[in-house]
């Protein structure tokens, strides 16, 4: 079955008969389900299930529940979700190129893809393609609600089929696309039928274009592609090539200009010095020197090549809604050996990581550490109170002595990022609660050269917790140590309960390894031993949140790890704002199962045992 295709246009159609959906950048696919057959066919007629076994595995898990609805046919987009409104196309390309079964299985397990269903074509074996789109959408959402599928894409959800919502309001979807850096919007006529293989004007696609002003450096003699560049300091850097969008009348003008002004040529190219500036639309930049879907926009005759800079190109790659004001986007925040990290780079890190970061900030009073002049500037201060100039969308909660910020959404996260809040610290309980919902063990080595002690301590703790059947998760502090998280059911255990456990654990570890570990609070008495900072777990205290950056010189990130990664060769400096996004794309989130583990912890049984036996050592 060939999919129905939208027609491109620059602006949204007018009238009340249109509904609007986010457009995702992935692999278009038709999913067909029957009792004895599953197929996922690409736009080019290729079976995708061997490349994406996670989709088939999920379907098999729900088949008994949907048997009465079969056969079913869905139209959708196969994606790797970065956030509710954006797929990462580079990750999809990487997955699509895998051929090794073992690598495919690993990727499907650690960092699975998702089919986003946006249309229902058949249900109970009956074709509904002739029904109006709005009716098909209603039936699709009815099916999704019955099967408890996410009605808005959720990257952290374990359902491998999720649904794409729509809106009657174009401006709402547009704002979400700009906020989440999405690909674009699809406008659909509410009364339209689904027509196999047809490019239709009942569906329109609108792209979320980024635009860069650059200069021409070369012309391909054979295929007429223009090579585009910008200045990075004094060096000319290629950013991509463009051909589409150039009008026939302009092609000959460009060819003549480049040929007549070329400083050299070879068998394939004419080469010219920077002089002719053009404006180019694109969806995103990737692989250093490629633009996705580049489109020639216009000549920029009033621009000089010296103003076509790498900094301007970097800023142009990202879109933000009007509600998120970005000031000084090219301000340097970190100076690393490989690059200068600017404010807009930092904001993009926050946006990329938001689906994994925000759950750990949700409904927790925030303490941030702000660096008003960037980490390079040195000055920093803690902020607990919401400032008077905070926008209305920033949610707050009244604590005993201050009004605290709740960083519950991407808008607030980006606003904080623009204020150069670099570190995000949260308490161990949610706002309005007095009991912790996690216990965190902070392992603080005496310096960066002693990270191996943190690894040793974490593995000892893991072994101890395993004997107690307690699930635990480990992350780097982003600075020099490790932190072990033990999730607890909410509203059950007090800080006195958790203190009893940490005292037991601290006594056990320091007693068994007195030369390596200590609970001594005075730094000068610790020597070269690692400090087990268990007293930090207390009401009123905070800890760095998972995926929060740190204000150090290597742009460290508090990074969740898998336990089997704790090996001597790893370094704390491996985990930075430059490396963590790609790590998530390839390995997923090691904390993904934390919520599931929370309700299954036998912590009460462990406490009962400790209470029963805690006096015996003193009685012997």
Q: Which of 553, 375, 588, 575 is nearest to 482 (CA)?
A: 575
Confidence of residue 619 (pLDDT cuts 50, 70, 90): very low
Rounded CA gap, 139 and 148, in Å? 14
Length of the chain counted residue by residue = 620
Predicted pLDDT at 249 = 87
Predicted pLDDT at 326 = 95
**Secondary-structure percent of the chain, ordered helix, strand, coil, rounded to 5:** 30, 30, 40
Predicted pLDDT at 614 = 67
Tell whether the model's pLDDT for residue 510 goes beyond 80.
yes
Q: Is the Cα dihedral 214, 216, 218, 220 positive or negative? A: positive
Q: Give the pTM.
A: 0.94
Q: What are 476-505's pLDDT values in tens digits?
A: 999 999 999 999 999 999 999 999 999 999
Q: What are 93-129's pLDDT values in tens digits?
A: 999 999 999 999 999 999 999 999 999 999 999 999 9
Mean pLDDT across the chain: 95
Q: What are 371-380's pLDDT values in tens digits?
A: 999 998 889 9
Confidence of residue 515 (pLDDT cuts 50, 70, 90): very high
Tokens of 365: 């009073």
Beta strands (DSSP E) in 399-534 are: 403-406, 421-426, 438-444, 473-476, 482-487, 517-518, 530-533
Would you list the DSSP string of 307-347? Answer: G-BHHHHHHHT----TTS---STT-EEEE-SS-EEEHHHHH
Confidence of residue 620 (pLDDT cuts 50, 70, 90): very low
Tell whether the model's pLDDT for residue 592 goes beyond 50.
yes
Q: What are 408-464's pLDDT values in tens digits?
A: 999 999 999 999 999 999 999 999 999 999 999 999 999 989 999 999 999 999 999
Question: Residue 260: enclosing H or E segment and its boundaries?
Answer: helix 248-261
Quick one: average pLDDT of 3-23?
97
Tell whether the model's pLDDT for residue 615 goes beyond 50.
no
Tell whether the model's pLDDT for residue 617 goes beyond 70.
no
> In a 10 Å sphere around its CB, with 0-12 CB exposed, 13-18 middle and 19+ buried, how is residue 62 labelled?
middle
The active-site residue out of 2, 14, 23, 525 is 23
Q: What are 56-100's pLDDT values in tens digits?
A: 999 999 999 999 999 999 999 999 999 999 999 999 999 999 999
Confidence of residue 618 (pLDDT cuts 50, 70, 90): very low
Tokens of 104: 């495919």
For residue 23, indicate whether it is catalytic: yes
Contact between 28 and 201 under an 8 Å Cβ cutoff? The reply is no
Q: What are 153-178's pLDDT values in tens digits?
A: 999 999 999 999 999 999 999 999 99
Quick one: average pLDDT of 345-372?
98
Predicted pLDDT at 14 = 94
Predicted pLDDT at 286 = 81
């Amino acid at each position: 079955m060939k999919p129905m295709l939208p027609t491109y246009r620059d602006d949204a159609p007018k009238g009340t008969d249109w509904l609007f959906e986010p457009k995702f950048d992935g692999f278009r696919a038709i999913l067909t389900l029957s009792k004895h057959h599953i197929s996922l066919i690409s736009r080019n007629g290729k079976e995708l299930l061997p490349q994406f076994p996670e989709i088939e595995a999920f379907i098999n898990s729900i088949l008994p529940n949907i048997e009465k609805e079969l056969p079913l046919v869905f139209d959708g987009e196969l994606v790797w979700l970065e956030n509710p409104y954006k797929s990462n196309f580079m990750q999809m390309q990487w997955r699509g190129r895998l051929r090794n079964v073992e690598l495919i299985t690993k990727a499907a397990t650690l960092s699975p893809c998702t089919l986003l269903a946006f249309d229902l074509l058949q249900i109970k074996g009956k074709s509904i393609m002739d029904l109006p789109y709005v009716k098909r959408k209603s039936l699709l959402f009815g099916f999704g609600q019955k099967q408890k599928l996410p009605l808005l894409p959720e990257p952290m959800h374990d359902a491998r089929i999720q649904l794409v919502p729509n809106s009657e309001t174009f401006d709402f979807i547009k704002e979400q696309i700009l906020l989440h850096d999405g690909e674009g919007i699809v406008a659909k006529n509410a009364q339209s039928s689904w027509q196999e293989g047809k490019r239709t004007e009942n569906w329109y696609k609108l792209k979320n274009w980024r635009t860069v002003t650059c200069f021409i450096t070369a012309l391909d003699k054979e295929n007429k592609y223009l090579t585009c560049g910008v200045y990075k300091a004094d060096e000319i850097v290629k950013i991509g090539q463009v051909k589409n969008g150039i009008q026939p009348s302009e092609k000959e003008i460009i060819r003549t200009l480049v040929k007549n002004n070329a400083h050299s040529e070879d068998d394939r190219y004419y080469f010219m010095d920077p002089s002719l500036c053009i404006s180019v639309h694109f969806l995103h930049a990737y692989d250093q020197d490629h633009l996705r879907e580049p489109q020639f926009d216009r000549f920029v005759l009033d621009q000089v090549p010296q103003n076509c800079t790498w900094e301007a190109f970097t800023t142009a790659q990202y879109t933000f809604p009007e509600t998120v004001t970005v000031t000084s986007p090219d301000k340097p925040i970190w100076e690393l050996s490989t690059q200068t990290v600017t404010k807009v780079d930092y904001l993009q890190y926050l946006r990329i990581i938001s689906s994994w970061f925000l759950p750990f900030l949700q409904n927790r009073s925030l303490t941030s550490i702000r660096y008003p002049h960037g980490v390079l500037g040195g000055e920093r201060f803690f902020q607990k109170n919401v400032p008077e100039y905070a926008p209305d969308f920033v949610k707050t909660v009244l604590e005993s002595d201050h009004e605290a910020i709740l960083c519950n959404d991407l808008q607030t996260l980006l606003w904080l990022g623009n204020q150069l809040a670099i570190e995000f610290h949260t308490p161990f309980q949610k706002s309005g609660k007095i009991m912790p919902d996690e216990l965190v063990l902070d392992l603080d080595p005496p310096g960066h050269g002693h990270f191996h002690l943190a690894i040793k301590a974490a593995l000892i703790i893991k072994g101890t917790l395993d004997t107690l059947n307690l699930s635990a998760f480990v992350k780097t502090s982003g600075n020099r140590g490790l932190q072990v998280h033990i999730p607890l059911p909410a509203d059950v255990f007090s800080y006195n309960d958790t203190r009893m456990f940490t005292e037991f654990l601290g006594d056990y570890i320091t007693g068994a390894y007195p030369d390596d570990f200590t609970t001594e609070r005075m730094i000068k008495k610790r020597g070269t031993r690692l400090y087990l900072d268990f007293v930090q777990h207390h009401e009123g205290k905070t800890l760095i949140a998972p995926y929060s950056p740190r204000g150090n010189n290597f742009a460290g990130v508090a990074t969740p790890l898998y336990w089997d990664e704790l090996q001597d060769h790893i370094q704390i400096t491996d985990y930075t704002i430059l490396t963590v996004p790609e790590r998530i794309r390839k390995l997923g989130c090691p904390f993904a199962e934390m919520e599931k583990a929370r309700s299954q912890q036998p912590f009460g049984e462990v406490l009962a045992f400790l209470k029963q036996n805690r006096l015996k050592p003193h009685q012997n």
